Amino acid sequence: MALSKAVVGNFELYTIETGDIKLDGGAMFGVVPKTLWSRGIPADEKNRISMTMRCLLIKSRVTGKIYLIDNGVGTKFNDKMMDIYQIDFSERELSHSLQEQGFNFDDITDIIFTHLHFDHCGGTTFFDDKGNINYAFKNAVYHVNERHWETATNPNARETASFLPDNIQPIKESGKLNLVNDHHIFESGLSTVIANGHTLGQQLPKIDGDNKTIVFVADLLPTHVHLPLPWVMGYDMRPIETLKEKELFMKQAAENNWYLYLEHDLDVEMLKVSYDDHKFTVAEKLSLNDI
Ligand SMILES: [Zn+2]
């Protein structure tokens, strides 16, 4: 299926699919029993659920900057890791997506990382024929929240497995790392919302224009099935904080008719939410093409 796009205010938005991944269903739904979550997303024979790694390219008509939000898991995994996570590039892949949308790697001027877990930043670098690490986006600056950088470079034992040295070290040595604070504005109409429950300093890019707001919700809401408040990932470092952040955020989203752009949902690119009777529900499933 063709990739979607939209124009919102001063920005052109393009869907960039980077590939599919499977993760343990139990870990993805925390305390929620499988009998409940498996009605929303079926599990395979190893209890894994299928997800995708959907990124967003933003071209500013004012500054000419071309931003990419996250870049997927990349190609540095060995066969064993490819198998564990069932990484699949057969239907969706980063270079194909860029090409289809009329861009190439060198066009990207800014990469905004929501956070540095391996399924969000692996595409930054790749191994060449000699096994050396190379940079995929030669002209890009890397924007990471300063508190997130602190945690990514000094992780606790529970989060260490998500921060891979092959991903983090080259970013550190690139000379192009830009640490941003919680209230950073990239340019007029492009800012971030901070959500610390999943990992400290996770930043969710927010695009405003033409009286519309789109938020790239990353791991605050990985799929539409995660909408009920207590459906919080076991992967989250601070689940109670996620609960509070999610409630506050979703109320704002429902009230202001925000479009929520989903990174990991295989079937739903974007949604709008409703809040009735103390419950959040999916009001509309849509794609960038529908804006
Ligand atoms: Zn994550």
Q: Considering only CA atoms, which of 118, 106, 111 is closest in space to residue 144? A: 111
Where would I find the H helices in the chain?
25-29, 34-40, 79-84, 94-100, 118-121, 146-153, 165-173, 239-255
In this predicted model, what pLDDT tens digit does every residue of 32-73 receive, in sequence order?
Answer: 999 999 999 999 999 999 999 999 999 999 999 999 999 999
What residues make up the domain containing 106?
A: 5-218
- Ligand 1 center to 264 CA (angstroms): 10
- Ligand 1 center to 30 CA (angstroms): 14
Read off φ and ψ for residue 111, nearest 5 degrees. Answer: -110, 125
- Ligand 1 center to 87 CA (angstroms): 16
Where would I find the H helices in 146-237?
146-153, 165-173
In this predicted model, what pLDDT tens digit does every residue of 243-260 receive, in sequence order?
Answer: 999 999 999 999 999 999
- Ligand 1 center to 227 CA (angstroms): 17
Residue 76 belongs to a domain: yes
List C-alpha distances in Å: 171 to 90, 126, 147, 150. 27, 12, 16, 13
Residue 149 belongs to a domain: yes
Residue 154 belongs to a domain: yes
- Ligand 1 center to 61 CA (angstroms): 30
- Ligand 1 center to 62 CA (angstroms): 31
- Ligand 1 center to 35 CA (angstroms): 24
Residue 151 belongs to a domain: yes
- Ligand 1 center to 83 CA (angstroms): 19
- Ligand 1 center to 116 CA (angstroms): 7
- Ligand 1 center to 219 CA (angstroms): 6
In this predicted model, what pLDDT tens digit does every residue of 70-124 receive, in sequence order?
Answer: 999 999 999 999 999 999 999 999 999 999 999 999 999 999 999 999 999 999 9
Residue 251 belongs to a domain: no
> According to the model, what pLDDT value does residue 212 have?
98
> According to the model, what pLDDT value does residue 28 have?
96
Given CA atoms 20, 26, 30, 31 in this order, what sign does their dihedral have?
positive
pLDDT mean across residues, the chain: 97
- Ligand 1 center to 123 CA (angstroms): 15
pTM of the predicted protein model: 0.97
Residue 99 belongs to a domain: yes
The 3-state DSSP class for residue 69 equals strand
- Ligand 1 center to 32 CA (angstroms): 19
Residue 227 belongs to a domain: no
How far apart are the C-alpha atoms of 50 and 41, rounded to whole Å? 8
Task: Quote the Cα angle for 206-112-271, to 5°.
Answer: 40
In this predicted model, what pLDDT tens digit does every residue of 124-166 receive, in sequence order?
Answer: 999 999 999 999 999 999 999 999 999 999 999 999 999 999 9
List C-alpha distances in Å: 250 to 29, 42, 258. 18, 25, 9
Confidence bin at 1 (pLDDT 50/70/90): confident
- Ligand 1 center to 198 CA (angstroms): 7
- Ligand 1 center to 200 CA (angstroms): 10
- Ligand 1 center to 56 CA (angstroms): 16
Residue 54 belongs to a domain: yes
CATH assignment at residue 193: 3.60.15.10
- How many domains does the chain fold into? 1
- Ligand 1 center to 131 CA (angstroms): 27
- Ligand 1 center to 159 CA (angstroms): 10
